[in-house]
Chain A
Amino acid sequence: AQTVTQSQPEMSVQEAETVTLSCTYDTSESDYYLFWYKQPPSRQMILVIRQEAYKQQNATENRFSVNFQKAAKSFSLKISDSQLGDAAMYFCAYRSGTGGGADGLTFGKGTHLIIQP
C-alpha cells in the first residue's frame, strides 16, 4: 500500500516571502500522479498543482511550483510571494496510475500554513 508523509504539521511564513512544504511518499509503482490540495477554513478542498510521475519537468502554476524527485520519492511544494489568502491546510496526495482510471487518493496528514502579515 502507498503511504504519504508530511513531516511539517505547521509552517509559518512572512507575507511576500517564499515557503516550501515537504512531502515524501512510498510506492512500488512507476506510474502514478501526485497532487497538492489546499483546504482553507471554509473546508473546500481546492487543487493547487498536479504532477505526472512520468514527466521529469516540475509542474508550475503561477506562484506555486513543485520539486519532484522521483528517485528520492519526494514532492515538495514551493509557494513564492506568499499572500494572506494562501493561509490554509495543505495536503499532499498520491494516486496510482496503474488502475482503470477511478482510483482513490491517498493523502498525507497535512501542513497548516500560517501567513504572518
Chain B
Amino acid sequence: ETGVTQTPRHLVMGMTNKKSLKCEQHLGHNAMYWYKQSAKKPLELMFVYNFKEQTENNSVPSRFSPECPNSSHLFLHLHTLQPEDSALYLCASSQVAGGPGVRDTQYFGPGTRLTVL
C-alpha cells in the first residue's frame, strides 16, 4: 500500500529538539488528517485539513504544529515534546468532493513511531 507515505518511519528525539513528520498522499485526495495512537488509548484525531484549510483541532497542545502547504502534503512540526507524547502518529487522506461512496473512506499511511526521551 503506497497511496499514503510517511517519513520518517521511526524517530527518537529529546524533549528540547525540534523535528517534523511528513505525510504525502498519491491518491488525488483533498482532505488530510493526523491521528495519534498511544499504547493505552484508542486512536485520537488530532487535526483535519480540508482543501489545505485546517477545519479541526482536537484540543491538541501547541507543541504540535500542523502545516498543509497543498492537498498532497501534510506536516506535523514537533517542539518541546514530553515523554507522554511518545506514540505512533498516523496520517490519513480522503476525497471530500464527490458522492458518499467516494468521500467518506480514509486511507492511512504506515505511521511514524515517535519516542521522546
Contacts and interface: CB of A to CB of B under 8 A. Distances in A.
Interface of A: 4, 33, 35, 37, 42-47, 50, 52, 91, 95, 97, 100-110
A12 B80 CA distance: 42
B55 A100 contact: yes
A104 B56 contact: yes
B66 interface: no
Nearest to B49: A102
Contacts of A43: 88, 110-111, 113
A82 B56 CA distance: 38
B100 A102 contact: no
Contacts of A101: 31, 50, 96-97, 103-104
Contacts of A35: 105
A102 B55 contact: yes
Considering the complex of A and B, which 10 residue pairs feature the smallest CB-CB distances, nearest first?
A104-B45, A102-B50, A101-B96, A45-B108, A102-B31, A107-B43, A33-B104, A107-B42, A44-B110, A109-B42
Interface residues of B, number: 32
A73 to B, nearest CB: 17
A98 B59 CA distance: 21
B106 interface: yes
Interface in B28-87: 31, 33, 35, 41-43, 45, 48-50, 55-56, 58
21 contacts: A33-B104, A35-B105, A37-B108, A44-B1, A44-B109, A44-B110, A45-B90, A45-B108, A45-B111, A52-B100, A52-B101, A91-B42, A91-B43, A101-B50, A102-B56, A102-B94, A104-B45, A104-B56, A104-B58, A105-B35, A109-B41
